[in-house]
Amino acid sequence: MGAKHYATVGLAALIAASPGCSSLKRLAPPGILKYEELAGDQPVNPEIKQRIAERRREIDRRFPDLSAQPSRRPAEASMAERDALAAGLIDARDELQAAVEADRAASDAERQAGFTLPGDKGDKARSLEDVAADLAAEVEKDGTVARNERSAPMPQPAPQQNDQ
């Protein structure tokens, strides 16, 4: 321990031994002291009592009470109940499959339908694949121009003449 630690420990001992500090409660951070200790012999405020009870109920909700858990398995469902549940699940699966197929058909129809982009010459509708290929070609062309511009030598500024 360095000198700083000895000074801190000595200061804490000096504060604890000073008159009026019969215990270290004075140095404890707020929240450690309980409501009952603050109240002393006075009755507890009903509002505080209610807040304490609400907080204890919240704590009870966070942790399961294992003694309240069932100790034996619940009764099994009858065969008719299981069949009805299975039939309901199969119907839901079939409805979902039909919705997926309808969505895929609509998506395929949108992809096959032609459309025009702003700036297209003429009113001819094109397929999505054609538009994607044209855009890729434009991007490649712009990239080539940018590479050529970056590799070109920088023009040197003309030397300035002083007319004095």
Residues 6+ apart with CB under 8 A from 52: 35
Residue 84: Cβ within 10 Å count: 12
The pLDDT of residue 99 is: 97
Q: What is the pLDDT of residue 50?
A: 87
User: What was the pLDDT predicted at 24?
Assistant: 60
Q: Given this model, what pLDDT does residue 133 score?
A: 87
Residue with tokens 């409660």: 25
Q: What is the pLDDT of residue 40?
A: 59
Per-residue CA distances from 76 to 71, 82, 83, 131, 147 (Å): 15, 10, 13, 60, 73
- Residue 53 is encoded by which pair of tokens? 């009870």
Predicted pLDDT at 47: 87
Q: Where are the domains of the chain?
A: 10-63, 79-150
pLDDT of 74: 75
pLDDT (0 to 100) of residue 125: 73
- The predicted pLDDT at position 150 comes to 86
* pLDDT block averages, 10 residues each, the chain of length 164: 71 66 60 54 78 76 69 85 96 97 91 71 73 88 91 77 66
pLDDT of residue 136: 92
Amino acid at 45: N
**CB crowding 18-52: b at 16 or more within 10 Å, else e:** eeeeeeeeeeeeeeeeeeeeeeeeeeeeeeeeeee
